């Protein structure tokens, strides 16, 4: 599962489409965590897609990740600023790849 303390245990190493990327990153096998308020551990996500289907405000968008051992696309929290903290995505992800910091 994603480490809920990732902002303390990891360092921001990059930015992607306006959100943070928390390392370590070593493409294509190791991709880190995308987002901060809505954070998706790309190294755990296996492209189930439930988060994209269920998010009421369409926070997630597919991003292609060719060569990653778990899956070749990931749910990117492209619109994390729109999150309303409903926690649906956290509940439906079968591998607990998502952390939402609802404060």
Residue 63 sits in the site that holds ligand SF4 (CB under 6 A) = no
- Minimum distance between the CB of residue 51 and ligand SF4, rounded to whole angstroms? 6
Q: Does 57 bind ligand SF4 (CB under 6 A)?
A: yes
Q: Is 69 helix (H, G, I), strand (E, B) or coil?
A: coil
Residues 6+ apart with CB under 8 A from 8: none
| Residues 29, 36: Cα–Cα separation, whole Å | 21
CB of 36 to ligand F3S, least distance (A): 16
3 contacts: CB under 8 Å, gap ≥ 6: 9, 10, 41, 99
Select from Zn ion, ligand F3S, ligand SF4, none the partner in contact with residue 57, using the beta carbon and a kind-dependent cut-off of 5 to 8 Å: ligand SF4
Contact residues: ligand SF4, CB under 6 A: 38, 54-57, 59, 83-89, 100
């Amino acid at each position: 599962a994603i480490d809920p303390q990732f902002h303390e245990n990891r360092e921001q190493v990059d930015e992607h489409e306006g959100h943070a990327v928390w390392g370590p990153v070593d493409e294509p096998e190791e991709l880190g965590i995308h987002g901060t308020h809505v954070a998706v551990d790309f190294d755990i996500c296996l492209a189930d897609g439930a988060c994209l289907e269920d998010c009421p405000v369409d926070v997630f968008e597919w991003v292609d990740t060719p060569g990653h051992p778990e899956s070749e696309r990931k749910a990117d929290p492209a619109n994390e600023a729109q999150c309303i903290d409903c926690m649906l995505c956290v509940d439906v992800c079968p591998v607990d790849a998502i952390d939402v910091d609802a404060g």
